[in-house]
Structure 1
Amino acid sequence: MVHWVQPTTTTNRVVSTLLLGIGQLLTIARLVVRYRSRRMWLDDAWAFVALVCAFMLLIGMWIRTDVPGTGPLNQPRDARVVAYWMVALSFTNTLWASRMSIIFAVIRLIPPMMRLRRISNISAVLFILMWIGLIIQKSYICVSDKSWYQHAVPQCRLGHGVAINELITDAISDLLLAAIPIRLLQGVSLQSDQRKMLYVIFGSSLLITLVSIVHAVFVLGPSGLLEAVTAQAQAATALIVADIGVLGSLAYRRVRQGFRDFDSKPYTYELSIHTNASIHLHRVPRGTTHSTRLQFAGDPELYSWSNQDDHDTITERTRLPSVGQVKTLDLKESSISSKPDLDNVTAKNLMT
C-alpha cells in the first residue's frame, strides 16, 4: 500500500497561490490586450469567467487551510466546510471555463462555411454537458453523505466514480482541443516557424490532461491536501493554456516583425474563385472598403459569398449556372482590407 506524504499547509498555500497567481495575471494581461485592440469575443468572455472562478478557488483554498493554530484568522469548521464547497466547485468551473475559452478561440479562426466549424460548435456543447454532469455528480456525492462535515479537516471523499469520469472527460475534451486546430492548420499555408508556433500553442492543451491524471490519482488516495494541490495545479494549467494563444502570438509578433495577427474577428473572409475552378479563402483584416472582382469557370455547383464585418454582417449565396461559360462577379465588401492576413485555404479543405 502506498502512503502519500501529506504536504504542509504552508506548502499548499505557496504552490497554489503561485500557480493560480500566474494564471490570473496572464488572463488579466490577455484581457487587457484584447480590450485595447478591440478584438474581444466569446473566448475572452469565457476567459473572464475562468478568471473569476480562479479567484474564488484561491480564496476558498486559503479559508479551507485556515485551521486553528495555523491562522491567520483561525476559521471555524463551518467556514471551512463552505470553503471546501468553494474549492470543489470553483476548481471544476475554472477548468471547464478555460476549455470553453480555448474552443471558442479555435472557432473564431474557422471560416463559417467549413464543416470543421460545425464540429467545433458541437464540441463546445459537449463541453458544457460534461461540465454540468461533473458538477451534478460531485454535488450529489457530497450532499448524500454529510458525515464529512463533522471531520476536523472537512473533506468529501469523491471516490472512484468521479476520478474515472474526470479522466474520461479530460481526455475527450483535451484531445478535441488539440485535434481540431491541428486539422485546421493542415489546410493553411504558413511559414514553417509560424506553423510550429501554432502547433505548440494548440498542442499545449494536452498538458491539462497530464496534470489531470496526477490529480485523479490523489482523488482516489487518502491525502486531502494533495488532492487540493493537484486540483489547483490543473485549474492553473488550464487557465495558462487558455492564454497562450493570445499572449504567445503577441510575443511572436514582437520578436518577428511582419507576422500578422492570426486571430482576427470572425466573418472577415474573402473568397476568390479562379478559372480552374479552384477556390481560395483569405482571412483579411478590417478597416477599409474595397471591391473584389471574381472570375470563375462555369460550374453549376459553385457558390459566391460576400461578407460585411464590424457593422452589419451580410452574407449572400448565389448559385452559378451555365456549364462551359466563364462568368464574372463583383463583390463589394465593407470594412475589409484587400491585403490578406492568412494564406489560402484550398478548395479541397474548404468544406471539410
Structure 2
Amino acid sequence: MPRTLRVVCTVLQILGILLTIMRLGYRVRTRMIWVEDMWAVAALVCGVTSLITDWTNFYTSGQAAIISFWVYAFAYPSTVWAVRQSILFSVARIFWSARSSRLTTIIIAVVFLVLYGALTAQRAWQYGHNLDWYNHPDKNGRAHVYLSHPMVIFELITDCISDVIIISFALRLLWGIKLPAKERIMILAALSTSIIVTIVSIFRAICQLMHFRNTLRIAADLELAVSLITCNLLVATTYIYRIVIRRRNVAESGSDTDVGFSQAVTAPVSRPPVTLDGIGELTTVDLTGYGGDSATQAEPETDINIEM
C-alpha cells in the first residue's frame, strides 16, 4: 500500500509539473511573463529536483542516499514556498495599480522570504550539526534524521500563518471591487485551495512528530503535488473560463467576434484599458469601486488588466 500511495503521489506531482510547464509555455507564447511566473519557474525547478531525489533516495543506499536526502530536504520546502510567492503575486497582479496593494504585497513577500530563510537555516543546523545519523542507516541502507519537535511545530505554524495571510489578502482585495458572482467564486475557489495545502501540512507534521517515516514521505509528496497544482489553478481556471465565455458568446451571436473574459467582468470603457504588458485581450478587473487606495479613488476610470 505505501508504494501504491507513493506512485499516486508521483502521478500528482507529474501532473503539477506538467501544469506548470503548460502555464509557462502559454505565458511565453503570449509574452505575458511577470513576477509570479518567475516564482513558478523556481517552483518547477525545485519540484522536479524533489521528485528525482525522492525516488533516488528510495532506490539507493550509502553515500548516494545521503546526498539525495540532503537535496530533497531543501528542494521540497523550497517548492512549497515558491508556490506561495507565486500565488501571492498572482493576486497582487490584479490590483498592482493600487499603491497600498503593491506595498502590502512587497511586505508579505519579504516576510515569506524571512520565514523561508529561518526554516532553511533550522533544517541545515538540524541535519549538519551532528552527522552521526550518517552511520545509522535503516534496514534498507538509507540514512535518515527527523526534525526536532520544536522545529516541526514552528514549521507547521509558519505554514498555517502564510496560507491564512494569502487567503486573507485575496479576500480583502476582492471584497470591495465590482466583480460578478461567478467570477468572484471562481477566483476565491482557486485561491482557497491553499487550505488543502495547510491540511496536508498538518498531516505531515503529525507524521514527523510520531516518526511515521513511510507515511511522512507520502505526506510530503502529497503536499508537494497539491502545491504545484494549486500554483497553476488560478491561471488554468481563468483561461478555461475565458474560452468557455468566448465560445458561448460566439454561439449566441453567430459570429466569430472574440469576446474575452474582460468583457464578461466589466462594462466597456470609453478609452483603451491600461495593460500591464501592452498586449490586448487581457482579463480586466474594474477597480472603480475599490476603496483600498487613495490613488485608485483619485482616478476612478482606471482599469487594471491582467492575464491570469
Normalised to the residue count of structure 2, the TM-score between the two structures is 0.82
1:34 paired with 2:23, answer: no
1:195 paired with 2:184, answer: yes
Whose RCO is larger (CA < 8 A, sep 6+)? 2
How far off its partner does 1:117 sit? 2.5
Structure 2 letter corresponding to 1:199: L
1:58 aligned to 51, 56, 60, which one?
51
3-state DSSP class of the match of 1:342? strand
Q: Is the 8 A contact 1:16 1:229 kept in 2?
A: yes
Change in CA separation of 1:211 and 1:24 when aligned onto 2, cut-off 3 Å:
same
Task: Give the structure 2 partner of residue 142 of structure 1.
Answer: 127
Structure 1 letter corresponding to 2:261: R
Task: Give the structure 2 partner of residue 349 of structure 1.
Answer: 292
> Deviation digits for residues 204-242 of structure 1, max 9, x if unmatched?
212111110001001112222211111111121111111
2:147 aligned to 154, 158, 163, which one?
158
Change in CA separation of 1:177 and 1:157 when aligned onto 2, cut-off 3 Å:
same
Task: Give the structure 1 partner of residue 196 of structure 2.
Answer: 207
Change in CA separation of 1:283 and 1:234 when aligned onto 2, cut-off 3 Å:
farther
Rounded Cα–Cα distance in structure 2 between residues aligned with 1:261 and 1:149: 57
Task: Give the structure 2 partner of residue 76 of structure 1.
Answer: 61
Q: Is the 8 A contact 2:245 2:261 kept in 1?
A: no
> Deviation digits for residues 306-335 of structure 1, max 9, x if unmatched?
xxx65xxxxxxxxxxxxxxxxxxxxxxxx5
3-state DSSP class of the match of 1:348? coil
Rounded Cα–Cα distance in structure 1 between residues aligned with 2:283 and 2:229: 30
Task: Give the structure 2 partner of residue 119 of structure 1.
Answer: 104
Rounded Cα–Cα distance in structure 1 between residues aligned with 2:292 and 2:173: 9
Task: Give the structure 2 partner of residue 244 of structure 1.
Answer: 233
Structure 2 letter corresponding to 1:122: I
Normalised to the residue count of structure 1, the TM-score between the two structures is 0.72
Rounded Cα–Cα distance in structure 2 between residues aligned with 1:114 and 1:95: 28
How far off its partner does 1:190 sit? 1.3
Q: Summarize the alignment of residues 1-352 of structure 1 with structure 2, pairs less than 5 Å apart.
A: 8=2, 10-11=3-4, 13-66=6-59, 75-150=60-135, 151-152=137-138, 153-257=142-246, 258-260=259-261, 284=273, 286=275, 310=277, 341-346=284-289, 348-351=291-294
Structure 2 letter corresponding to 1:348: G
How far off its partner does 1:12 sit? 5.3
Structure 1 unaligned runs (5+)? 1-6, 67-74, 263-270, 273-281, 287-308, 311-334
| Structure with larger Rg | 1
How far off its partner does 1:104 sit? 1.3
The share of aligned pairs that are identical, in percent, is 32
How far off its partner does 1:283 sit? 9.5
Aligned length: 274
Q: Is the 8 A contact 1:283 1:342 kept in 2?
A: no
Rounded Cα–Cα distance in structure 2 between residues aligned with 1:141 and 1:228: 18
Task: Give the structure 1 partner of residue 302 of structure 2.
Answer: none
Structure 2 letter corresponding to 1:64: N
> Deviation digits for residues 239-289 of structure 1, max 9, x if unmatched?
111101111100111122245269xxxxxxxx99xxxxxxxxx99354xxx
Structure 2 letter corresponding to 1:123: I
